[in-house]
Amino acid sequence: MNARDLGSLTIGEFGRRAGLSVKALRLYDVSGLLPPAAVDPVSGYRRYAVGQLDRARRISLLRQLGMPLAVVAQVLSGADEQAAERLDRWWAGQEQDMQVRRGTMSWLREHLRAPAAPGPGPAVGHRDVPATKVAAIRCDTDQQGLLAAIRRGVDELAGHLDAAGARRTGRHWVIYHGFVTPDNEAPIEVCVPYAGACEPAGEIVIRVEPAHSEAYVTVSRDDCCYPRILQAYAALDAHVAERSLITTAAPREVYLAGWHDVAGTDPFVLVCQPVAGA
């Protein structure tokens, strides 16, 4: 059987029918997302089967949504029902990203039109945190990639814990081992507390977060965006300086709820600074 028997459409004809450029089809071939049905061993010409058009059109639509190739591959890797679930999860993340960006734009616009007058900052509280067993994973990210990095970390940790039969005992938190900004990447550590038995694997570590005291500021969902959230960090810095406290570990953000589980003005995250001397 020759190439023409296996693939009835040339790359140009297939691209026209699928709504994809020849350049895109070559990229999807190299990436393994949509290899041709056959390649002529002499000329190297690619030929495609009519039955590949449905997958090609799905790829085209997903790319029009702005979905990265790696995510497209994940969405299309299973049955249609699984693909729909993965698409829903990804789209929910995109909507969350847009809400955060909209909040940042709104804050900046208001700040430029009417800069805030000096006054008391957000209220700072103190709490004691017991030693807690966590599964954790680190990565480097800038501000633009922060939400996606946190989601990936939580999903990977949750999947690992669930597969081991361990029980998650609370919501996740993120430790900032550097200053994450739009122009600067820094290491973050996503932590999920759990009970039960679980072994480390790959980049996932199992450790105990030491007992400690921490100062914290409660931030609403609307204010949990850059640069609004910096007000909480500024309040903590001022509080630590005024009381001559000693910082004992990196700051962290402890999430209280899922993004879609609370309203915009509801408490959403605790911005925390471990301290001694309180």
CA nearest neighbour of 225 among 105, 116, 92, 91: 105
What global pTM score does this model have? 0.63
Burial (Cβ within 10 Å: 0-12, 13-18, ≥19) of residue 211: exposed
Give the phi and the psi of residue 165 in degrees, each rounded to 5. 80, 15
Q: Can you list the pairs that 13-16 forms with residues at least 24 positions away whose Cβ atoms lie under 8 Å?
A: 14/48, 14/52, 14/53, 14/56
Q: For CA atoms 39, 42, 45, 50, give the dihedral sign.
A: negative
Q: For CA atoms 189, 191, 196, 198, give the dihedral sign.
A: negative
268: left (phi over 0), alpha (psi -120 to 50) or beta: alpha
- pLDDT digit string (tens) for 95-137? 877 877 777 777 777 777 776 555 567 899 999 999 999 999 9
Burial (Cβ within 10 Å: 0-12, 13-18, ≥19) of residue 73: middle
Instruction: Name the percent of the chain lying above pLDDT 70.
Output: 94
pLDDT greater than 80 at residue 155: yes
Distance in angstroms (rounded) separating the CA atoms of residues 157 and 172: 10
Averaged over 253-265, what is the pLDDT?
91
Per-residue model confidence (pLDDT) at position 7: 56
Domains of the chain: 3-77 (1.10.1660.10), 125-276 (3.20.80.10)
pLDDT greater than 70 at residue 4: no
CA nearest neighbour of 242 among 275, 220, 196, 199: 275
- pLDDT digit string (tens) for 56-99? 999 999 999 999 898 999 899 888 989 999 999 889 888 877 87
Identify the band that residue 203 occupies on the pLDDT scale cut at 50, 70 and 90: very high
Per-residue model confidence (pLDDT) at position 187: 96
Per-residue model confidence (pLDDT) at position 169: 96
Per-residue model confidence (pLDDT) at position 277: 82
Per-residue model confidence (pLDDT) at position 1: 39
Q: For CA atoms 244, 245, 248, 249, give the dihedral sign.
A: negative
Contacts of 99 (CB under 8 A, 6+ apart): 259
Distance in angstroms (rounded) separating the CA atoms of residues 178 and 140: 9
44: left (phi over 0), alpha (psi -120 to 50) or beta: left
Averaged over 195-216, what is the pLDDT?
97
Contacts of 65 (CB under 8 A, 6+ apart): 91, 94
3-state secondary structure 66-105: CCCHHHHHHHCCCCHHHHHHHHHHHHHHHHHHHHHHHHHH
**Which one has a higher pLDDT value, 227 or 32?**
32
Mean pLDDT of the chain: 89
Give the phi and the psi of residue 132 in degrees, each rounded to 5. -135, 130
Separation in Å, CA 264 to CA 123, 228, 272: 19, 13, 20
pLDDT greater than 70 at residue 5: no
